[in-house]
Amino acid sequence: MKRAKWLFASVVVAVAVLIVGMNPTGAQAKGANRTVTFSQLTNKNPHRLAAIRQAARQQILKQKKAKGSRVKAVYQVKLPKNMAKKATLTPAGLRMNLLANSFKVKQITIPYAQLKGKILNKYLPKANRTHTVKTNKMVALTFDDGPDPTLTPRLLKTLKKYHVHATFFEVGQSVSRYPKISRAVLAGGNELGNHSWNHPDFDSIGTSKTFDQITRTNRAIYQATGTLPQYVRPPYGNITAAEGRAIEQPIIRWSVDSRDWAYLNTQKDINEIMRDTRGGDIVLMHDIHAQSVAAVPTIIKRLKAKGYHLVTVSQLLNSQALPGLQYFGAHDYRRAGK
């Protein structure tokens, strides 16, 4: 009888240990690891796998505390494209083994926060999972062609005053001239995106030169801020499918074009945006025109009066934008080149 009780108690303890080692939220308990394939992590979605590669590049640079001069080299590191390859879920993040590379990094662990919206929710801790958001009262303001040494700081003061965050798509050659302003953009809680090195039409320069434009700007932004930009906005909105595949970053377009560059008229900018903007829209403006920056306070106040929440692109898209796809609004996306 005593032996039966002892066996029963042993089974209970073993089951308890097993339960403790399993985390029902999907996160890995301390000391517990789980091997998974990229097919499982992404549900066989190549765009999700490209997002993992994007996060891996950032992690390699961070782990090596690499200088900006090494950004181009990180795109030469061979990262997984085969869905059958495996990685490990650990308490700290997704651990990946790397092939021999110039960084001499054999293994990286990508924090789960960097994989939010990129891998399936069930493989993420609760704190890093995406949840359904209502976008009918959300609008993302975006500003192209900066940073400008005078106007961008003025705009940042306006955003801070009204407790609003926006997304800035910056030109690499300007970032290299005014890195402190790019840092200030991020310090204010805003987002930075890549808007090419010197604003060419990608359709006219081809895939190779387009890739160089993007990587050169990524280098400038990384040099200025210590982080790679997540998004790309192609000048004039032009990008081919091949360029989208090569870039391996989500492409952000717009659903409301203020055409502020054409008007250079503050009241006209206000009228155009207030007439056309609806919930879920991405609004295109520029922070290199004084008239546009002057219009922003009134635009913010009027949109707020209508009940709109002004958010970053990441917030509007619920952190689920993926490489190879282009996004026009909260619920409007398609493959690059279409």
Q: What pLDDT score was predicted for residue 136?
A: 97
CA dihedral of 158, 162, 166, 171, whole degrees rounded to 10: 10
CATH number at residue 212: 3.20.20.370
Residues 285 and 234 in one domain: yes
For tokens 């989500």, name the residue.
250
Residues 262 and 185 in one domain: yes
Catalytic residue (choose from 144, 148, 260, 287): 144
Residues 311 and 218 in one domain: yes
Q: Kindly state whether residue 121 falls inside one of the protein's structural domains.
A: yes
CATH number at residue 81: 3.90.640
Q: What pLDDT score was predicted for residue 13?
A: 41
Residues 109 and 196 in one domain: no
Q: What pLDDT score was predicted for residue 22?
A: 42
Burial 204-229 (b: 16+ CB within 10 A, else e): eeebeebbebbbbbbbbbbbbbeebb
Which tokens is 65 given? 């505390």
Q: Which structural domain range is residue 58 located in?
A: 31-128
Q: Kindly state whether residue 109 falls inside one of the protein's structural domains.
A: yes
| Whole-prediction pTM | 0.90
Closest alpha carbon to 97 in 334, 20, 88: 88
Residues 232 and 298 in one domain: yes
Catalytic residue (choose from 165, 195, 286, 289): 286
Residues 160 and 44 in one domain: no
Residues 187 and 278 in one domain: yes
Residues 148 and 237 in one domain: yes
Residues 255-282 pLDDT 10s = 999 999 999 999 999 999 999 999 999 9
Last residue in a domain, options 128, 160, 190: 128
Residues 150 and 264 in one domain: yes
Measured CA distances, 124 to 144, 242, 292 (Å): 33, 31, 41
Q: What pLDDT score was predicted for residue 30?
A: 52
Spans in the chain with pLDDT lower than 50: 1-25, 29
Q: Kindly state whether residue 266 falls inside one of the protein's structural domains.
A: yes
Residues 32-73 pLDDT 10s = 899 999 999 999 999 999 999 999 999 999 999 999 999 999
Q: Give the count of domains, the chain.
A: 2
286 is catalytic: yes
144 is catalytic: yes
